[in-house]
Structure 1
Amino acid sequence: MDLPKLLTLYYEERPDPEDPLLRVAFGTSGHRGTSLKGTFTEAHVLAIAQAIADLRASFGATGPLFLAKDTHALSQPAWATALSVFAANGIEVLVEPEEGYTPTPLVSLAILEHNAHHSAKADGVLLTPSHNPPEDGGFKYNPPTGGPADTRVTKAIEARANALLKEGLKGVKRLPLKEAKGRAKAFDYAGLYVARIKEAVDLEAIRASGLRIGVDPLGGASLRVWERLAEAYRLNLEVVNPILDPTFRFMPPDHDGKIRMDCSSPYAMAGLLALKDRYDLAIGNDPDADRHGIVTPRGLMNPNHYLAAALHHLFTTRAWPGAKVGKTAVTSALLDRVAAALGREVYETPVGFKYFVAGLLEGWLGFGGEESAGASFLRLDGRPFSTDKDGILLGLLAAEMAAKEGKAPDEVYEALAQGLGRPYYARKDLPISPEAKAKLARLSPEDVGEKELAGEPIRAVLTRAPGNGEPLGGLKVVTENAWFAARPSGTEDVAKVYAESFRGEEHLEAVLQAALALVAKVLA
């Protein structure tokens, strides 16, 4: 990565507001892009920050704003840009001491803790593209609910930000950075998180077990948090990679040769996997720590397998009366089977953690999890802990599981698979045109005429999620022992096709091929 070029273009590129590819666009986790393509620049950040300043009161936020960043190269200048705008708009901004780095879940917790005790509600902004490559930047907004903003909020921010871009940023207020920093207040995000984490996970059981834990922050913002957790709770925990480098040059390439800090990828986690025999359990996080990767002496766990094990452990060790299990439509159906065995109702949603926020906040969801290795859950007493994905929390839960059950998480999964059925899961990206993407998003159950899928009767064809009735943005076909789902990507001209079978690898392949054929047919 050409770091000087990346930073220069952040300030120098002027996106054309008439070009749809260069406008502000919020996906499932905010606006992302890179200055190398003119999709993430100072102009974008100025417009988004001013849009939030203009609209936040309408979202219920009239108190302070928690401002954070991760370790990506573009996060630092974007953080400074956003701070200069928020300060100019008279907003009280709370920042990490000494301009340090802050994981996403720490912002969520900070918002919830503030709002539990103050009438003027807080919100938060995170400058992070999550696990994306080093040249990417990202801008996430969390309203007073503490979790990812819903579509109503993001559409309003998009519209206002793009209007500001079109006006040449004339409506943007801004202070010199030195003055803006002078107005910001330091806030110890990690201190709050370390103090409260024992209310969600049994840290004493982990400490008493003497469990040998290795942690790789993958060059991300969780580094100092893990160090402080180990010190505060006297855990037998070693951070195996303390390097912070915005180029992430220490990272092994992912499956496609790109650098990507994806803690669910065995390629990206190769460094930690090489050390797995030194530890009873190892944990990886992406740069903003909203994802988790769980490594046992037998290797990196499949995210779906770990979610099933986590779900079983949580609902057999916590009371949470009446609390439901949250899962997205493309997360393993093993979670449905575990929930049924435990007598818990499943709340199935479209892709996007934003759909779990209200349930976690109000306590009627005990757990919410996504197949992409993102999850969170309630405190031991049923109060919300973080309403955003929390990779640190899920890593510590794996340690609690090992400490209290005497079995590694993959052993817990293995017992579930033997008792409830072993899932075989696959995903394939199918290149399609923008027109086909739009058609896929508009499909109805009537568009599927088939009565069988890979030899089994089709039980349901869904275009809306069973849990909340929201559009799936595609469709899902379900049989007794298998399912597939197809939906358009939010960022690329591809259809994402997911498939799962409980009848083995051959049946999975048959399901996947039938799914691809059906998608090709309805999009023809």
Structure 2
Amino acid sequence: MKFQAAPIKFGTDGWRGVLGVDITIERLIRVAVASAQEMAYRAKNDSTNKVVIGYDRRFLASEFAEAIADAVRGCSLYPLLADVSVTTPSCSWAVVENNALGALVITASHNPPEWLGLKIKGPLGRSVEEDFTKAVEERLLTGGITAPILGETEKFSCRQNHLIGLKRKMDIPALLIGIRAMGLKVIVDSMHGSAAGCMTEILGNESHDFLKEIRTKRDPLFGGNAPEPLAKNLDQLIVNTQELALEGHPVLGLAFDGDGDRIAAIDETGRFCSTQLLIPLFIEHMAGVRNLPGCVIKTVSGSDCIRLIAKDFDREVIERPVGFKYIAQEMLSRKVLLGGEESGGIGFGDHLPERDALYAALLLLESIVYRRKPLGSLLDNLQKRLGTSFYDRFDLLLSDNDSRQRLEKSLKINPPLLVEGKKVKEVIELDGCKLRFDERHWLMFRFSGTEPLLRIYCEAPTYKEVEETLAWAKNFASQI
């Protein structure tokens, strides 16, 4: 079988592909140089010349990070290399802390084990905008790529500095007292990713009586699954959580993706809780308890419950395309309470203009401890207040680019107007094709920016309606 590398093209958050096919050391160095050159160009007369370099736990990630440090040096810039594998938010934190031009992070985030990639962070720690990545792609086409300069690269405590910063932002002693007063047990699944051990370090060694971390060892194969915090990938966490619940303990399961910027949770009943469920709870806590200012940013694939709970606190809701870079853009232009996406990423206005699963986990613990109720109970109360809502997503693997083009054209020119007997009241084309039937009932088609996948999303008042609508959508897409 002959493999052919895909053109170098940035998706919603970085450049990613299959290691050894799309991602090779030669291509990565070229992209790193083009990215560093664009950073230097945009900095103009800025006094800083530092570029943070980080990497996750994937195969060859650390070796590639060393190589691009030489590439950065070849651009007359100063590379700061993480001394161990780190979460991507650690690199964003380091950019701000070190007044750096930005960061280059070797990671494929939640993608399958055979993938690797590069994320680019700007001077404020957020993902760079589309105009930046377009400029990088143009540099690659026009040439002028400088040669790497070999040398010793300064390594720094990127991970440790981030964890210390998180401790300072939270009242850890009060959190520990509250957790013990509840008798709460916490299980953390880092999915073999770079967030492994972080919660233990933040909460301290004295947390061992209530905190257990699983799948902490480095495994570039991630146990055979993509390190994405979806229910299908969290069997061990779900079983562990249910076992503790059967023993009579209030329990919380936390899951982080491969590079620690996405979060999901398992409640005391074993229910999988995506950010579709968690974001309304965060809004209630940040606006109602912490009384923090700002609007709410959601992606077009986000639950209608986000809008409903924000309305309760008289907060404006702004909807943007999928991709946290669009949320980050809003976080820099106005006062934002939080911004979230359905795939697990949440950013908070009092933190970084970027996702940080560890900070989200600490805030989730704080909200549970404040109310002295387990997660499932809090979510049930919210559902009674907002109305029932169920959500699911199905990923359809595309056979080729022609299939994608046919489906894109069909949805653009002739979108469905009737689905399972339900009339489509509105067609939204902000990102893909979203068909709205009613409040808390919609279907959305969107193509992945990093993989050959069609993502099909649905929210409905009953899970049966979600299943029926997704089944119809799968059949509709397959026929085209």
Q: Deviations over 1:248-282 (max 9, x none)?
A: 46x2xxxxxx422222x234322333322447323
Distance 1:236 1:65, change over 3 A: farther
Question: 1:516 & 1:216 partners in 2: Cα distance?
Answer: 31
Residues 23 and 446 (structure 1), Cα distance of their counterparts in 2 relative to 1, 3 Å cut: closer
1:445-496, CA deviations, whole angstroms, 9 ceiling, x for partnerless residues?
Answer: 774473x5555554421112xxxxxxx1444435234111112233454432
Contact 1:326 1:356 in 2 (8 A): yes
1:73 counterpart (50, 56, 59): 59
Residue number in structure 2 paired with 1:136? 115
- Residue equivalent to 2:438: 479
For residues 444 and 242 of structure 1, what CA distance do their matches in structure 2 show? 41
The residue aligned with 1:255 is: none
1:314-336 Cα offsets, whole Å, 9 max, x none, are 22122233x11111111211111
Equivalent position of 1:83 in the other structure = 69
Cα 1:283–1:506 shift into 2, 3 Å = closer
How many Å apart are 1:194 and its aligned residue? Answer: 2.9
Q: Distance in 2 between matches of 1:496 and 1:443?
A: 16
Match of 1:418 among 384, 394, 411: 384
Residue in structure 2 matched with residue 102 of structure 1 by the alignment: 86
Match of 1:41 in 2: 24
- Aligned-pair distance for 1:308? 2.4
Please give the per-residue CA displacement for 1:143-181, whole angstroms capped at 9, x wherever unaligned.
1131122211112212323554xxxxx7331123xx1xx
Q: Indicate the residue corresponding to 2:162 in structure 1.
A: 193
- Measured in 2, the distance between the counterparts of 1:147 and 1:429 equals 27
Are the counterparts in 1 of residues 92 and 121 from structure 2 also a CA contact under 8 Å? yes
In the alignment, residue 422 of structure 1 is paired with which amino acid?
Answer: T
Change in CA separation of 1:419 and 1:399 when aligned onto 2, cut-off 3 Å = same
The Cα of 1:356 is off from its aligned counterpart by 0.9
Following superposition, the deviation at residue 507 of structure 1 comes to 3.0
Between the aligned partners of 1:446 and 1:132, the Cα distance in structure 2 is: 31
Instruction: Flag the 1:239–1:362 CA change in 2: closer, same or farther, 3 A.
Output: farther
Instruction: Provide structure 1 residue ranges, at least 5 long, that are not aligned to the other structure.
Output: 1-12, 116-120, 165-169, 252-257, 380-384, 465-471
For 2:235, the equivalent position in structure 1 comes to: 270
> What code does the residue aligned with 1:371 have?
E
Say if 1:226 and 1:494 are closer, same or farther in 2 by CA, change over 3 A.
closer
Distance 1:46 1:433, change over 3 A: closer
1:327 counterpart letter in structure 2: K
User: Distance between the aligned counterparts of 1:300 and 1:148, measured in 2?
Assistant: 32
Cross-structure match for 1:316? 288
Alpha-carbon shift at residue 199 of structure 1 (Å) = 5.7
State how far apart, in whole Å, the 1-side matches of 2:477 and 2:220 are.
Answer: 39
Residue identity in the other structure for 1:135: E
Identify if the C-alpha distance between structure 1 residues 247 and 448 changes in structure 2 by more than 3 Å, giving closer, same or farther.
Answer: closer
Name the SS for the 2:233 alignment partner.
coil
What is the identity, as a one-letter code, of the residue corresponding to 1:266? A
2:429 to 452, 457, 463: 463
- Aligned residue number for residue 303 of structure 2: 332
Output the CA distance in 2 between the equivalents of 1:133 and 1:492.
10
Whether 1:505 and 2:440 are equivalent positions in the alignment is no
Query: What do residues 296-345 of structure 1 show as CA deviations (whole Å, max 9, x unaligned)?
Result: 33225320212222222222122233x11111111211111111222211
- Conserved in 2, the CA contact under 8 Å of 1:305 and 1:410? no
CA contact (8 A) 2:303 2:440 kept: no
Contact 2:254 2:265 survives alignment (8 Å): yes
Residues 1:362 and 1:208: Cα distance change in structure 2 (over 3 Å): farther
Contact kept, 8 Å, 2:164 with 2:202, in 1: the verdict is no
**Contact 1:461-1:477 within 8 A present in 2 as well:** yes
For the 8 Å contact 1:48–1:161, the answer to whether it is kept is yes
Partner of 1:468: none
**1:152 to 2:110 alignment:** no
In structure 1, C-alpha distance between the alignment counterparts of 2:380 and 2:196, rounded to whole Å: 31
Match of 2:35 in 1: 52
Q: Which segment is superposed worse, 237-246 or 399-408?
A: 237-246
What pairs with 1:69-468 in structure 2 (closer than 5 Å)?
69-96=55-82, 99-115=83-99, 122-164=101-143, 171-176=145-150, 179=151, 182=152, 184-198=153-167, 200-209=169-178, 210=180, 211-231=184-204, 238-241=211-214, 243-248=216-221, 251=223, 258-263=224-229, 265-276=230-241, 277-278=243-244, 280-303=251-274, 304-321=276-293, 323-362=294-333, 364-379=335-350, 385-430=351-396, 431=398, 434-438=401-405, 441=408, 447-448=414-415, 450=417, 454=420, 458-464=424-430
Preserved contact between residue 128 and residue 325 of structure 2 (Cα < 8 Å):
yes
Given residue 269 of structure 1, which amino acid in structure 2 is its aligned partner?
L
> 1:268/1:495 Cα in 2 relative to 1: closer, same or farther (>3 Å)?
closer
Q: Distance in 2 between matches of 1:306 and 1:152?
A: 32
Question: 1:86: Cα distance to partner?
Answer: 0.7
Secondary structure, aligned partner of 1:111: helix
| SS at 2:429 equivalent | strand
Q: CA-atom RMSD, angstroms?
A: 3.0
Mapped pair 1:32 → 2:11: no
Report the count of equivalent residues. Answer: 464
Deviates more, 1:507-516 or 1:311-320: 507-516
After TM superposition, give the deviation of residue 229 of structure 1 in Å: 0.8
Identity %: 23
Q: Which letter does structure 1 place at the counterpart of 2:447?
A: P
TM superposition score normalised by structure 2:
0.87
Q: CA, structure 1 residues 233+174, in 2 after alignment: closer, same or farther (shift >3 Å)? A: farther
Counterpart Cα distance in 1 of 2:189 and 2:473: 37
| C-alpha distance in 1 between matches for 2:96 and 2:410 | 38
What is the distance in 1 between the residues matched to 2:57 and 2:439?
Answer: 45
Q: Is the 8 A contact 1:230 1:236 kept in 2?
A: no
Which deviates more, 67-76 or 435-444?
A: 435-444
Counterpart amino acid of 2:363?
L
1:268 maps to amino acid:
N
- What's the TM-score, normalizing by structure 1? 0.80
8 Å contact kept, 1:444–1:463: no
